[in-house]
Every structure is written in C-alpha cells, then in structure tokens.
C-alpha cells in the first residue's frame, strides 16, 4: 500500500517539520507495511538525503497553482501537492486503485491497512476536523484516495479552485477548497485513522495526527506561550503522545543518523583568506552560543566586495557559509563581472554553503556578492543588513 506525504522547502518552519517527517517515516517503517513516497518542492538538502537513505521514494513536483499564482506562499506550495497524486501515479506507471495520503505530523501506531482495505470511496474518505461527529467539516490531513475517481474530478476541482482562488490560497488552503468542491460527496474515514491527541487517549488509534500543537511546542504549551486557539487543543493525552514521539525520533536518528552537513567541510571564520575586503562586510561580532552561532560578520546591502591577486601557478577556491534572519534573499556571486553563483535563500537561520573552484587566471581579481534585499535592524543600527556570514574567504588550494 502506497503512502504519500508532501514537503515544501520554502517554508520557514521546514526544519521543524523535518523531525516530524522523520518520526512519521520511522513509525511507518517499523510498524506498518506502507511504501512511503515523498512529494517534494525544493532543492536537495540533508533531509532529502536522510529520506533517500531510509528508502523513501522522492518525487519532485510543483503544484498546478503556479499557473495562476506566480508568487505562491510557502504553505499552499506544499499543501496542494496532495492533489498531484493521481497524475503522479499515472506518470510513474503505478496502478494502485487506492492510496493513502497524510500530513507530515502523524505517528503510525499500527498498520492502517486492515482498516483501509474495506473502504471504497468514490473520491476520498476523510475524518472530521475537530468535532468527532462532523464529517462534512472534514480534515484533509489524512485521506484515503480513490486514484481514478480523484483524477476524473481533477479538471472540475481546478475550476472550483480557480473561481475561489483567494480563498484557496489562504488558511486552511486545500482543505477549504476540497470541502467546497466535494460537499456531501466524501466518504467517512474511521476516527482511528486520524486521531487527534485532544480527543483523549485511544489505544486502538492506527494514525495519530498532531493536529494543533506539535510535539516540538510542548514546552511552549506548558508555559502558555502559544496562541489561544492552540492552547485550547491541549489535553493530557497530548503530553503522552509527545513522549511517544520523542522516543521515536531518538530511535529514528539512532538507526539512520543525519547526513554530514553540507557546510561541515568549510571551517567557520574569516581567516586563511588571500582576499582583502574592499567593502560591504561588517565587523566581526560574537560568538553567540545562545543562537548556536560562531563569530560572524554581516554582509551589507547592496553588495560585499573582495579583491585578491592570482598567479597561474596557484589554484583558488571561494568559500562562504551564509544564512538569513528574515524574509527571502537572492544572492549572486560575480567574479570580475561574470556570474559564478546564484542562489535563493528561503529558510530562516539555516546555513547555506558555497564552495567554488575559481578558474586559473593571473592578475587582479574582484569578487562581488550582490544582494536583492536589505533591512535596517532595530535599535538605531544605521547599517542595511543582507546576510549573516559564518565563513567568507578566498583560499589557495
């Protein structure tokens, strides 16, 4: 039985969801017969490497919403990937009659297959959102999908979404669109297949769904530091479920550790550089152990400039480890006016590594690092900040 889940790298909470995914995959691997498939919008990173190492099939995909909304927000980019499942099955040559979809924030407590196989929905089966009796206001976080049925309805569903596009790309995103289009036409999914911790303990639950507060929020919940509507969804069973989740995460990462960080091969700091900073780089500050940061320097908008001189006998490498603290940033690296790198940073406070072997040339060289955006920090700091560097250098190799 195939099990689909979806991920979008552009989300600011991507790395928080990474652990949720690891627990979901590990519980599926150890407790069920499901075949996991990840629908993914983004670039390769440590999580995709971890998933592939555990045997998860990754299908790289973008939602059809891009044909109407070019600047699509991060949540609908991932949420609407579930509607690509029928087309993906056809493209992959998979002849499954039914498949399972879940959000990332689930734990498989036992194999759901025996509960699912007797169900034959016309389009899909879904369980209620929060009121256990209200199947009309269903939750799309777990769906038992009739592949051919949903495929046949897809053109009409797209028409509905296009007609109510503003609603479709706002919370609760795909769920509102599906409720509108399939009103009165969905099949009920047993509660045990989408059980919420705030419903209480349920020994028979096959799929536990952390709808509302996530396991990583448990300390904020204890200190009443979450939004009121989230706090209202807390019950004693939530903390019991969190303890189970914690144990699963530790076991998952014990069995399959994180891959080596892409930035691990680049030493922190700004020494060993043959280049001179001409401008656009702040003074050394830190380290900041409370933020898990070494000594750092801010790249200042609109650009940072380095200069150095080479000979044909020497080889040089440009190295940088950089991150952003707000919004989205595009960075272009130029060597003597020619572009040698172009990257878009979307994940907050997540280091991105650049390591570029420079072409052998002789004479003066100039590297410019251009930033699309800058911001002025609070507290009267007059600088316009762009990115935060953990490392920046040109070194001889």
At residue 306 the predicted structure's pLDDT band, cuts being 50, 70 and 90, is: very high
Residue 274, class by beta-carbon neighbours within 10 Å (0-12 exposed, 13-18 middle, 19+ buried)? middle
- Decide if 177 contacts 158 (C-beta within 8 A): no
Element (H, E) at 168: helix 165-168
Tell me whether residue 111 is in a domain.
yes
Cis peptide before 122 (omega within 30 of 0): no
Whether residues 245 and 280 share a domain: the answer is: no
- From 220, 255, 290, the end of a domain falls on 255
- From 255, 289, 316, the end of a domain falls on 255
Q: Please state, in angstroms and as integers, the Cα–Cα distance from residue 231 to each residue in 76, 130, 132, 322, following that order.
A: 24, 14, 19, 35
CATH of the domain at 298: 2.60.120.260
At residue 328 the predicted structure's pLDDT band, cuts being 50, 70 and 90, is: confident
Q: Within 10 Å of residue 247's Cβ, how many Cβ atoms? A: 11
* 39: nearest Cα among 73, 76, 100, 88: 88
Average pLDDT over residues 27-32: 98
- Decide if 206 contacts 127 (C-beta within 8 A): no
Strand 2-8 to 35-41 pairing: parallel
Sign of CA dihedral 150, 155, 159, 165: positive
Tell me whether residue 375 is in a domain.
yes
Whether residues 243 and 336 share a domain: the answer is: no
Tell me whether residue 268 is in a domain.
no
Average pLDDT over residues 20-26: 98
**pLDDT tens digits for 70-101?**
888 889 999 999 999 999 999 999 999 999 99
Whether residues 156 and 295 share a domain: the answer is: no
pLDDT at residue number 105: 97
What is the number of domains present in the chain? 2
Tell me whether residue 270 is in a domain.
no
Whether residues 280 and 325 share a domain: the answer is: yes
At residue 262 the predicted structure's pLDDT band, cuts being 50, 70 and 90, is: low
- Decide if 395 contacts 317 (C-beta within 8 A): yes
- Decide if 140 contacts 176 (C-beta within 8 A): no
Tell me whether residue 37 is in a domain.
yes
Whether residues 320 and 184 share a domain: the answer is: no
Tell me whether residue 264 is in a domain.
no
pLDDT at residue number 264: 57
Question: Rounded mean pLDDT of the chain?
Answer: 94
Q: Which two tokens stand for residue 324?
A: 């952003």
Average pLDDT over residues 46-59: 95
17-31, 90-104, 320-334, 340-354 — which is least confidently predicted? 340-354
Q: Please state, in angstroms and as integers, the Cα–Cα distance from residue 196 to each residue in 107, 126, 212, following that order.
A: 11, 13, 9
pLDDT at residue number 11: 83
At residue 299 the predicted structure's pLDDT band, cuts being 50, 70 and 90, is: very high
CATH of the domain at 161: 3.90.550.10
At residue 360 the predicted structure's pLDDT band, cuts being 50, 70 and 90, is: confident
Whether residues 129 and 221 share a domain: the answer is: yes
Whether residues 77 and 198 share a domain: the answer is: yes
Average pLDDT over residues 305-312: 93
What is the phi/psi pair of residue 116, to 5°? -85, -40
Whether residues 168 and 224 share a domain: the answer is: yes
Predicted structure pTM score: 0.80
| Bridge partners, 396 (sequence order) | 316
Using DSSP's 3-state secondary structure scheme, residue 31 falls into helix
- From 201, 221, 255, the end of a domain falls on 255
Give the CB-side neighbour count of residue 387, counting CA atoms within 13 A: 29
pLDDT at residue number 10: 83
**pLDDT tens digits for 138-194?**
999 999 999 999 999 999 999 999 999 999 999 999 999 999 999 999 999 999 999
Tell me whether residue 266 is in a domain.
no
Domain extent at residue 143: 2-255
Tell me whether residue 265 is in a domain.
no
CA 265 – CA 267 distance, rounded (Å): 6
Strand order in the sheet with 138-146: 57-60, 35-41, 2-8, 98-102, 138-146, 124-128, 187-188
Place of tokens 């190799």: 397
Whether residues 217 and 327 share a domain: the answer is: no
Whether residues 233 and 290 share a domain: the answer is: no
Q: Within 10 Å of residue 96's Cβ, how many Cβ atoms? A: 17
CA 281 – CA 369 distance, rounded (Å): 10
Q: Within 10 Å of residue 285's Cβ, how many Cβ atoms? A: 12
Whether residues 220 and 155 share a domain: the answer is: yes
Q: Is the model's pLDDT at 261 over the cut of 80? A: no
Whether residues 74 and 134 share a domain: the answer is: yes
């Amino acid at each position: 039985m195939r099990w689909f889940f979806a991920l979008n790298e552009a989300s600011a909470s991507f790395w928080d969801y990474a652990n949720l995914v690891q627990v979901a995959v590990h519980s599926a691997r150890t407790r069920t017969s499901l075949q996991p498939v990840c629908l993914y919008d983004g670039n390769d990173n440590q999580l995709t490497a971890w998933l592939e190492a555990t045997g998860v099939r990754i299908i790289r995909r973008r939602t059809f919403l891009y044909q109407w909304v070019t600047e699509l927000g991060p949540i609908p980019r991932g949420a609407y990937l579930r509607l690509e499942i029928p087309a993906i099955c056809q493209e992959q040559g998979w002849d499954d009659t039914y498949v399972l979809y879940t959000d990332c924030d689930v734990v498989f407590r036992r194999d759901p297959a025996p509960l699912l196989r007797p169900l034959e929905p016309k389009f899909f089966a879904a369980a209620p959102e929060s009121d256990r009796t209200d199947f009309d206001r269903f939750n799309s976080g777990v769906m038992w999908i009739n592949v051919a049925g949903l495929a046949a309805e897809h053109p009409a569903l797209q028409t509905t979404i296009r007609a109510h596009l503003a609603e479709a790309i706002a919370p609760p995103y795909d769920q509102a669109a599906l409720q509108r289009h399939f009103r009165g036409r969905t099949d009920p999914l047993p509660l045990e297949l989408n059980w919420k911790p705030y419903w209480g303990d349920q020994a028979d639950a096959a799929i536990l769904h952390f709808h509302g507060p996530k396991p990583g929020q448990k300390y904020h919940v204890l200190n009443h530091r979450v939004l009121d509507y989230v706090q209202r969804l807390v019950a004693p069973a939530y903390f019991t479920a969190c303890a189970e989740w914690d144990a699963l995460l530790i076991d998952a990462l014990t069995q399959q550790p994180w891959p080596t960080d892409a930035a691990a091969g680049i030493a922190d700091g700004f020494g060993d550089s043959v280049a001179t900073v001409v401008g656009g780089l702040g003074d050394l500050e830190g380290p900041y152990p409370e933020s898990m940061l070494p000594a750092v320097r801010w790249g200042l908008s609109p650009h940072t400039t380095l200069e150095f001189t080479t000979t044909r006998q020497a080889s040089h490498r440009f190295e940088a480890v950089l991150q952003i603290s707000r919004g989205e940033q595009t960075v272009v690296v130029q060597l003597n006016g020619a572009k040698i790198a172009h990257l878009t940073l979307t994940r907050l406070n997540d280091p991105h590594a650049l390591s570029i072997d420079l072409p052998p040339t002789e004479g003066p060289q100039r590297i410019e690092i251009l930033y699309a955006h800058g911001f002025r920090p609070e507290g009267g700091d007059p600088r316009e900040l762009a990115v935060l560097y953990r490392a920046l250098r040109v070194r001889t190799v």
